[in-house]
Chain A
Amino acid sequence: MSVTTLPSPALAQRQQSWLVRLFDYRPFLIVMCLAPAIGLLAVFLTYPLGLGIWLAFTDTTIGRRGIFVGLENFQYLLTDPLWWGAVFYSIFYTAVATFGKFALGFWLALLLNNHFPFKSLLRAIVLLPWIVPTVLSALAFWWIYDPQFSIISYLLVDVLHWRTTNIDFLGTPWPARFSLIAANIWRGIPFVAISLLAGLQTISPSLYEAAMLDGASAWQRFRYITFPMMMPILAIVMTFSIIFTFTDFQLVYAITRGGPVNSTHLLATLAFQRGIAGGELGEGAAIAVSMIPFLVFATLFSYFGLARRKWQQGEAND
């Protein structure tokens, strides 16, 4: 018994040191460290991305392997008024909601940049709409937009007497479109405001002091100091905001599901309706892929349009 156990500590030691040395070998360690992240991203992001583009060129349905059909799906989409409607509303939704989010969010950030009591508490409260699950706050909006028991209609009709009839928020196309945009803006303001607030706090007060000595008005200080200094962070936040607004799904799916009469379909909800609910995977994938050019364009536009200063000033890109 004792004879057999004797060499084991030495063996274990040698084995351990061999393992330790392997894990201390840099190339091996680098590969091991990157493997989980790269592996996950490759299998569940890069591969599906390629697969999605492939699917868009096939007529795959749920339960049936498709065959390559070339551009047929896209040709069909170009003649499909629903797709054009979704393209229109996606662009409109993104444009109006982004404008609203940034105008109001910037304003809120400027307000929060002042000194007043309970500032951090207020900052925490302001972020709430962004924290809670979007679908759940969307449900609250659905209830707020109820045709019969809308609290907004109640306020306007019974309290303020500005109107005589309830507003039909979600029953007709244009009010439904704007109701969704309002909900999206409500949800987006906190993110924009808090990110921009962080940017505002990095602007050195001495710049404002110098401008004040030179007799600059409040508007001039905003226009020539705050705004240019905020450009880089504005560009990044806007890029993110545009991408995630354009591909939004939850809000529309929860509140209108694309209705009334398909007037509020975004490309993402249309892709879901055709691809998953309707089973036409190929066509759904084609709709999803058709978002990519818009996204690339919007990203380039917002990023390079706003973040000009980098190469203008010849700064290092870091």
Chain B
Amino acid sequence: MTDAVAQPAAVANAAPDTMAWDSRARRVMMIYLPLSCFVLILLFPFYWMAVTAFKPNAELLNYKAHNPFWITSPTLAHIKHLLIDTAYPRWLKTTMFVAIGATTLSLFASTLAAYAIERLRFRGSPYVGLGIYLAYLVPPSILFIPLATVVVQFGLFDSPLALILVYPTFLVPFCTWLLIGYFKSIPYELEECALVDGATRLQILRRITLPLAVPGLISAGIFSFTLSWNEFIYALAFIQSGANKTVPVAILTELVTGDVYQWGALMAGSLLGSLPVAIFYSLFVDYYVSSLTGAVKE
């Protein structure tokens, strides 16, 4: 009741500086409010993951007695279970090995390809570039069945090596396009000078172009690393034995057992599996954003 009486007075008071108030309130309503909703929703699953990972089971399954949004007695039991009772460390190691291997291979192949397409310019080089770009549009969902037979033919089934060889199919097109963009931004005069001074093409690539393209190489590298770390369908189809699985596949196929899900361990596994890319990402945010937007703009 008192509210209803007090309100008109407040409005009357605010009337003189209504313009300033109006624009500030408008800004809050139009920008800050929706923005905080977005951030809240985009981050909530991570918060929920983290909260679940450190909650003891008693709290996890009893919302009546414990506020589900908070932990009253945090525990490391789930993480301990994960690291000691399961092959989680092994999965982490495999994933790291695969991600680093695939990234190195793709960076090597795409640097050379981008250099050839952008700098060695030959007849048909735009078409080769276009072909590589089109390769990026072929989704893994179409390829995984025939690729499985190819992998078996090569005798690589159930081996992490298969993943290292297969991941470049989506990494190379992306990295090549990113690096073509970077090479374009390096003045050609620098290379001409070196040519006049008698440097060979490979020397130019090693001594001049690559050092100048380091930001591009970093972008391509972290992008490839993240994409390989996150890859799922190939790893699911080509790896059979529990020990050789990558983290995303292993959590889903090895930790989900029976009807009663161990949510604490599952979320702890998801959290630990996301951490490497999240840390990597936080170190290189700017490269990341520039590579994402650069690749789209190309």
Q: Which of the residues B32, B39, B169, B292 comes within 8 Å of A45, measured between beta carbons?
A: B169
In the complex, A99 has a CB within 8 A of chain B? no
Asked if A129 lies at the interface with its beta carbon under 8 angstroms from chain B, I say: yes
Task: Check A288/B141 contact, CB under 8 A, given A33-B115, A122-B39, A137-B45.
Answer: yes
Residues of A within 8 A of B169 (CB): 40-41, 44-45
At the interface, yes or no: B14 with Cβ under 8 Å from chain A? no
Q: How many angstroms from the CA of A23 to the CA of B69 in the assembled complex?
A: 64
- How far in angstroms is the closest Cβ of chain B from A311? 18
Binds A, one of B2-10, B80-88, B144-152, B211-219: B144-152
Residues of B within 8 A of A198 (CB): 289, 293, 296-297
Partner pick for B39 among A34, A55, A125, A248, CB 8 A cutoff = A125
Are the CB atoms of B49 and A140 closer together than 8 Å?
Answer: yes
User: Shortest distance in angstroms between A15's beta carbon and chain B's nearest beta carbon?
Assistant: 15
Chain B interface helix/strand/loop/mixed: helix
Shortest distance between the CB of A151 and any CB in chain B (Å): 6
Do B200 and A23 have beta carbons less than 8 Å apart? Answer: yes
B113 contacts A38, CB within 8 Å?
yes
A108 interfacial contact with B, CB 8 Å: yes
A257→B108 CA distance, assembly (Å): 37
Q: How many residues of B contact A (CB 8 A)?
A: 87
The reply to whether B292 and A34 contact each other, CB–CB distance below 8 Å, is no
The answer to whether A37 touches B109, judged by C-beta atoms less than 8 angstroms apart, is yes
Partner of B278, one of A29, A30, A131: A131
Given A49-B142, A275-B145, decide whether A186 and B45 contact each other with a Cβ distance below 8 A.
yes
Q: Given A30-B116, A125-B42, A249-B141, is A131 in contact with B122 using a C-beta cutoff of 8 Å? A: no
> In the complex, which residue of chain A has the Cβ closest to the Cβ of B126?
A318
**Could you tell me which residues of chain B, from 221 to 240, have a CB within 8 Å of some CB in chain A?**
226, 229-230, 232-233, 236-237
Task: List A contacts of B48 (CB < 8 A).
Answer: 140, 143-144, 151
In contact, B45 and A124 (Cβ under 8 angstroms): no
Question: Contacting A127 at CB < 8 Å: which of B34, B35, B168, B288?
Answer: B288
What residues on B are CB-neighbors of A48 within 8 Å?
Answer: 143, 146-147, 150
Q: A236: CB under 8 A from chain B? A: yes
In the complex, chain B residues whose CB is within 8 Å of the CB of A171: none
A289 within 8 A of B: yes
In Å, the complex CA distance between A40 and B176 comes to 13
Check A212 for interface membership: any CB of B closer than 8 A.
no
Most chain B beta carbons < 10 A, residue from A38, A131, A197:
A131
A145 to B168, CA, bound (A): 35
B231 CB → nearest A CB, Å: 8
> Which residues of chain B have C-beta atoms less than 8 A from A87's C-beta?
none
Size band of the A side of the interface?
Answer: 35 or more
Q: Are A34 and B128 in contact (CB under 8 A)?
A: yes
Query: Contact between A249 and B233 (Cβ–Cβ < 8 Å)?
Result: yes
A110, chain B: closest CB distance, angstroms: 9
Minimum Cβ distance to chain A for residue B290 (Å): 9
Please measure, in the bound complex, the distance between the C-alpha atom of A288 and the C-alpha atom of B237, giving whole angstroms: 14
Q: Give the contact stretch, choosing among A73-81, A172-180, A188-196, A219-227.
A: A188-196
Pairwise interchain contact A51-B149, C-beta atoms closer than 8 A: yes
In the complex, A299 Cα to B42 Cα: how many Å?
A: 28
Q: Mark B42-82, 1 if CB is under 8 A from A, else 0.
A: 11011011001000000011010000110000000000000
Which residues of chain A from 139 to 157 have a CB within 8 Å of any chain B CB? 139-141, 143-144, 146, 149, 151, 154
Q: Determine the chain B residues whose CB is within 8 A of the CB of A253 once the complex forms.
A: 232, 236, 252
Name the B residues within 8 Å of A96 (CB-CB). Answer: none
Q: Which residue of B lies closest to A23 (CB)?
A: B202
Chain A residue with Cβ nearest B202: A23
Contact with A along B263-298 (1 / 0, CB 8 A): 100110110011001100110010011001100110
A-side residues, CB < 8 A to B, are 20, 23-24, 26-27, 29-30, 32-34, 36-38, 40-41, 43-49, 51-52, 55, 60, 104, 107-108, 111-112, 114, 116, 120, 122-129, 131-137, 139-141, 143-144, 146, 149, 151, 154, 158, 186, 189-191, 194-195, 197-199, 233, 236-237, 240, 243-244, 247-250, 253-254, 267-268, 271-272, 275-276, 281, 284-285, 288-289, 291-292, 295, 299
Would you list 29 pairs from A and B whose C-beta atoms are within 8 A, ordered by A residue?
Answer: A23-B202, A29-B202, A30-B122, A34-B113, A40-B105, A45-B135, A45-B169, A48-B143, A107-B34, A111-B35, A120-B285, A126-B38, A127-B292, A132-B274, A135-B232, A136-B274, A141-B45, A154-B63, A186-B45, A189-B42, A195-B292, A195-B296, A233-B296, A247-B139, A250-B232, A250-B248, A288-B143, A291-B139, A299-B137
Beyond A37-B112, A276-B148, list 5 extra A-B contacts (CB 8 Å). A34-B128, A60-B149, A131-B278, A137-B49, A288-B144
- Give 10 nearest A-B pairs by CB, closest first: A198-B293, A33-B116, A37-B113, A268-B141, A52-B146, A36-B109, A247-B139, A136-B270, A247-B141, A132-B274
